[in-house]
Amino acid sequence: MKMTGGVEWGLHCCVVLSSATEPVAAAKLAELHDVSATYLAKQLQLLSRAGLVRSAPGQSGGYLLTRPATEITVLDVVEAIDGPQPAFRCTEVRQRGPMAVPPDRCDTPCPIAAVMDTADRAWRESLRAVTIGAIAATVAATTPGELLDRARVWLSA
C-alpha cells in the first residue's frame, strides 16, 4: 500500500503558499522543491479543482490559497490529490464460491470490511485534526529565521 507521491508535494506547496501574498507560479514551486514541473502542475490542478487553491493565469499569475491556512486540513489536501476512496475495497468474497451466502442475507456489512472502514475513519480523523497552518507554524518554529527570510525573498524574485 503506497500513497501517491503527489500528496507530499501538494502539502509542501500548500505550506509554502500559506506565507505567500502574491500568486506563485507552478514552475517556481517545482524549482523550489526540485521536482518535475509538468507533473507538479497536475497536482496543483487537482488542488485547484478541489477549491483549495485559486489559480491566476497570465503574466505574474500563479497559485494562492483560497482560504486561511488554518482552515485547510491535511485531509483536504490528501483527498484532493489521492482521491476520497478508502484504501481497502471489499469485493464481497462471501457472496462467491460454493458456500456463497445469498445477497439477500447480506444485510449486515462484511465484518472484515467494517474493521477496515473503522480504521480508515480513524486515519482520516487524524489527518483532519491538523491544518496547513499548524504545519507552517511548526516549520517557522524549527527552521532558522535567516533561511525563512531567504526563502521569502527567493519566492517573490
Q: Which residues bind DNA (CB under 7 A)?
A: 1-2, 4-6, 23-27, 35-39, 41-42, 44-45, 48-49, 55-63
- What SS3 class is residue 153? helix
User: Site for a copy of itself (CB under 8 A): which residue of 20, 25, 56, 151?
Assistant: 151
Q: Under 8 Å CB-to-CB from 56, ≥6 apart: which residues?
A: 23, 62, 63, 64
Q: Are 106 and 95 in contact (CB under 8 A)?
A: yes
Q: Which residues pair with 55 in a beta bridge?
A: 63
Taking CB under 8 A as the rule, which mask of x and - marks residues 53-92 in contact with a copy of itself? Answer: ---------------------x-------xx-x-xxxxx-
Q: Which entry of a copy of itself, DNA, none binds 80, CB below 5 to 8 A by partner kind?
A: none
35's enclosing H/E stretch is: none
By beta-carbon proximity to DNA, the closer residue of 14 and 105 is: 14
